[in-house]
Chains A and B, each alone.
Chain A
Amino acid sequence: MVSRARRSVAPASRLAALDDAAQLHLLRRATWGPTPDSRAEIARLGSRAWLEAQLDPASIDDSALEAFVRRFPNYQRSAEDVVRGGYQAVEWNLMFDVGRITLARQIWSRRQLLEVVVDVWNNLLHVACPSSDVWSSRQDYDRTVIRRHAFGSFADMLVDSARNPAMLQFLDNTSSRAGAPNENYARECLELHTVGVEAGYSEADVKTAARLLTGLRANDAGASVFDASRHDGSGGTIFGFSYPAHAPADGFRWIEAYLRWLAVHPATAARVCRRLAVRFVGDDPPASLVDRMAQVWRAGAGQVVPVLRTMFTSPEFAASAEAKTRTPQEDFVASLRTLGTGMEPSGTAGIVKLFWHALDSGHAPMAWPAPNGYPDVAAAWASPSGTLLRWNRHMDFAGGWYPKELQFKPATSLLDALPGTWGGLVDALALRLTGSPLSADERNALLSYTGRGAGTPLGAGDRWVQNNVQYLVALVLDSPTFCKR
């Protein structure tokens, strides 16, 4: 819909409005949802400088969030340290902590682009959290694989994922050995992490890869080791990657060479770049853009930042405004962000409850049980039950009903000033919460909820507003406009 406000503005401010629209588009894609603060920040810096700052997360002060993360001391422990410390295997709290911390970062971190990209990698090199075999290692995987390399080299991330105890357990490579290969990781590494099943490798390739990957395991102390006594040193060819018969002690060298070869394979470049573009540009992103991203990927040997920069500064990205639909997780987080909900002043009871909420919604960070990670296209999430969960969470958050520990802003304080008419109230709330004007259907529907005409004067201190604005806010968040990303 064309904004009624925009139609009447003068040329100079029309340019400003266009710039504003481009900034809103970038914020909707490169963050977990615009906030009043992030809108002010991008307006001050301009889109390009804002993007460059986000691509260099260390340049952004995130001390408040980091202090919050320190409320979960076990998150910093290595897998070995957790095993040594007598943490119980039946105790899933440490895995839940990883989910809680991730959710908190999505809502409150100022390094927002990093958090979105981390989510993409978490779904690509997916280790389900929680899942029973990674109780001691999932926090280690989060820190030393995904976050360490999120803006670095994909090849490094792939190698470190292959040898992290979490991946070794989740996809069973830890129990694979010479003479008794377990194909699970070998297959998913090709199918899900790199070239993809459509690349056309064979069953024989999978079996050969499983033999090459033997010896890489997690030991009883919870540590990742290369155990030469379990490695199959015979030579072979995997989908074009040939390696000689070798001494078992040299096995890891050939495993690493294989993984680095896979990381920059043209099929990997195309597939992973498409995955990024599906997240940031559209459910069926333009091939022209994916091709250019893949070229940058290969030229940079899998360096992530240049690929992201190519994508965000492309005309295809600029032309894709409002083409994505928020997934349940994005909707959940974006609702809290636009409402200006603050983290709890102390303790963790609120984030714990919020995380259960996210789990109930079927889309808590990293909780997808299968190795392929969450789907990232609207059609996969278009379900009635998902819609209901979305709408009911909007009410919880707009009303400040749950979890009480969070610092909810009263719905009555979302607007600086009360507009003079009921139409003005609906418009102002919609702009404040969604960034966009509503469609006529949405506007009329919300006005019908107030039971007043658009032009009916609205008096300060109106009782209906005092009592019902929280419901009106929830309904604005239920609007199709708020679903747009």
Chain B
Amino acid sequence: MPHLRSTPTTTPAAGRCTCDEGAAAASQLSRRAVLKTALGAGAAAATSFAVGDVSTQVSWAGAGWTGETLVVLSLHGGFDGLSAVVPGGDPGYYAARPNIAVPRATLLGLDQTFGLHPAMAPLMPFWRNGTFGVVHAVGQDNPSRSHFAAMQEMERAAPGTSVRTGWIDRTLGTTGTGSVLNGVQIGVQTPTSFAGPVQETTMNSIPDFSLIGPGDDRPTWHSVLRRMHASAPPVVAQPATTLLTAMEDVARIGTSASGPANGAVYPAGDLGSALAQSATLIRSGAPVQVLAVDYGDWDMHAGLGRVDGGWMRDKLVELSSALAAFATDLGGKLATTTLVTLSEFGRRVGENLSGGLDHGHGNAVLLLGGPVVGGRVHGRWPGLGAGQLLDGDLAGTTDYRAVIGEVLTKRLGAGSLGQVFPGFAGSPLGVVRSR
């Protein structure tokens, strides 16, 4: 457990889901304590942390956490990776999309097969300096074309098992330091990937992350609220106690790290705002291991638009400029931060006659950060020829768990992936460098 707080805090007895998971929480906590004892001080990450007016060295005793951060940007709705990282060198692409293809002459050249949509120009400097890369033709097992089934399965990440927790929760079960800031979602909703015994935090924004009632009487209110929830059901008590602890931790971060820094300029909108909050948290030195951000509205069944205007172009402009600002904002922390985009599925290769794309399968994953082996498109390209498609879709030749798993093991200090991705036995592609 980290020794950040001077006042003892309540540890809820159970997870947010079922009794079984409550029992799992208890065993998890004791197992983690054992791990900590076994690993000793050698595994502790030291972080400079502002407490009140005093800058203090705080020791975050982790079970092997390296101090690095994985940012998962969920492109909910079904991101069309073929419009973003365009296979302009594959004739199948232009044959399938007579009206909505991105013309080859407009592509920002990446290699002989692929080029970026011109709306993604803000990411080209990062492509060139090797901190932005792509994995193409990524998919998941048992492809479903239901948004909701596919999203649930992706966030559960345990196909063919009865495991009910989410993969981020299981990751923090192996690498967590015990801080409620180990896992943070910027937003209101709790993602399925957080389901399970570990306490993660959701927050809308750092400035608004405090009670409006107490004025100067904050400690009293926190103590009253803690006491009031002491014997409440876990589904109410756990988010309440996590909130109180997280508000106390975030208040210690204070305004010293508030951003944006390094001249970063975020685009207006929810994504820019969420990534700015994320960068502030990471720069503050808070023990954020996995940070989740949602950026939806990619379900373009009709009216996707053209290269020079419309739904897709507008989304890619916002996405790319927000990512570029994030990388700039992080400054030196970019070296220890890896951002990965995930979407529940890609879209059909062939356009429909509504000028849009129905649900498909294989997709592009975008990678941003210092650890990334950037400047190239990773993965095996299966091709878009008639005999190469999977029921009209781009085939998935790389399991998304291979991409995440590589970041977890090479950068975050996770040991075996058996617990995070039960039953998965993929090998690393070389998308990030070892530490």
Contacts and interface: CB of A to CB of B under 8 A. Distances in A.
Interface string A157-185: 00000000000000010011101111110
A380 interface: yes
Contacts of A439: 231-232
A391 interface: yes
Given A380-B189, A388-B243, A184 B225 contact: no
A177 B353 contact: yes
Interface in B195-248: 195, 201-204, 209-214, 220-221, 223-233, 235-240, 242-243, 246-247
Contacts of A372: 147-148
A388 B211 contact: yes
Contacts of B224: 445-446, 448-449, 475
Nearest to A398: B213
A397 B201 CA distance: 26
Interface string B366-382: 00000000000000000
A441 B228 contact: yes
A283 B220 CA distance: 34
B228 A479 contact: yes
A415 interface: no
A369 B188 contact: no
B169 interface: no
Interface in A344-397: 360-363, 369-372, 378-389, 391-392, 395-396
A187 B187 contact: no
Contacts of B227: 441, 444-445, 448
Contact of B204 (A175, A206, A385, A446): A385
A325 interface: yes
Nearest to A474: B213
A80 interface: no
A387 to B, nearest CB: 5
B159 to A, nearest CB: 15
A175 B302 contact: yes
Contacts of A444: 227
Contact of A441 (B149, B211, B231, B239): B231
Contact of B188 (A172, A176, A385): A385
Contacts of B240: 384, 387, 480
Contacts of A382: 16, 190, 235-236, 238-239
B97 interface: no
A264 B422 CA distance: 40
B213 A445 contact: no
B99 to A, nearest CB: 12
Interface of B is mostly: loop
B231 A182 contact: no
A440 B210 CA distance: 27
Interface in A458-485: 471, 474-475, 478-480, 483
Contact of B301 (A184, A385, A445): A184
A382 B242 CA distance: 11
Given A172-B302, A370-B147, A395-B211, A386 B230 contact: no
A480 B212 CA distance: 19
A21 interface: no
Interface stretch (B110-118, B327-335, B354-362): B354-362
Interface string B134-147: 00000000000111
Contacts of B225: 391, 445, 475, 478
A180 B356 CA distance: 11
Contacts of B223: 448
Given A387-B240, A446-B224, A203 B145 contact: yes
A175 B354 contact: yes
Contacts of B299: 370
A442 interface: yes
A395 B212 contact: yes
Interface residues of B, number: 62
A180 B17 contact: no
Nearest to B311: A132
Contacts of A391: 211, 213, 225
Contacts of A206: 145
B354 A384 contact: no
B209 to A, nearest CB: 7
A180 B190 contact: no
Contacts of B59: none
A6 B364 CA distance: 63
Contacts of B430: none
Contacts of B302: 172, 175, 182
Nearest to B76: A370
A480 B237 contact: yes
Contact of B230 (A175, A362, A441, A448): A441
A20 interface: no
A81 interface: no
B77 interface: yes
A379 B201 contact: no
B273 interface: no
Q: Which of A379, A395, A396 has the most CB of B within 10 A?
A: A379
B146 A187 contact: yes
Contacts of A392: 211-213
B169 to A, nearest CB: 13
Contacts of A142: none
Interface string B7-26: 00000000011000000000
B358 A184 contact: yes
A191 interface: yes
B285 interface: no
A176 B224 CA distance: 58
Given A369-B297, A441-B231, A176 B190 contact: no
Given A203-B145, A385-B188, A392-B212, A483 B236 contact: yes
Contacts of A395: 211-213
Nearest to A374: B189
A197 B146 contact: yes
A384 B16 contact: no
A336 to B, nearest CB: 17
B296 A383 contact: no
A384 B235 contact: no
Nearest to A440: B231
Interface string A383-418: 111111101100110010000000000000000000
Contacts of A381: 189-190
A180 B352 contact: yes
A471 B353 CA distance: 59
10 contacts: A172-B301, A362-B189, A363-B188, A370-B76, A378-B236, A385-B201, A387-B240, A396-B212, A445-B227, A478-B225
Given A203-B391, A381-B190, A439-B232, 9 more contacts: A184-B301, A184-B358, A187-B359, A379-B16, A382-B16, A384-B239, A391-B225, A440-B231, A445-B230
Interface of A: 172, 175-177, 179-184, 187, 191, 197, 203, 206, 325, 328, 360-363, 369-372, 378-389, 391-392, 395-396, 399, 439-442, 444-446, 448-449, 471, 474-475, 478-480, 483
**Closest A-B pairs by Cβ, 8 of them:** A180-B353, A362-B188, A175-B354, A480-B232, A384-B243, A445-B227, A445-B228, A383-B202
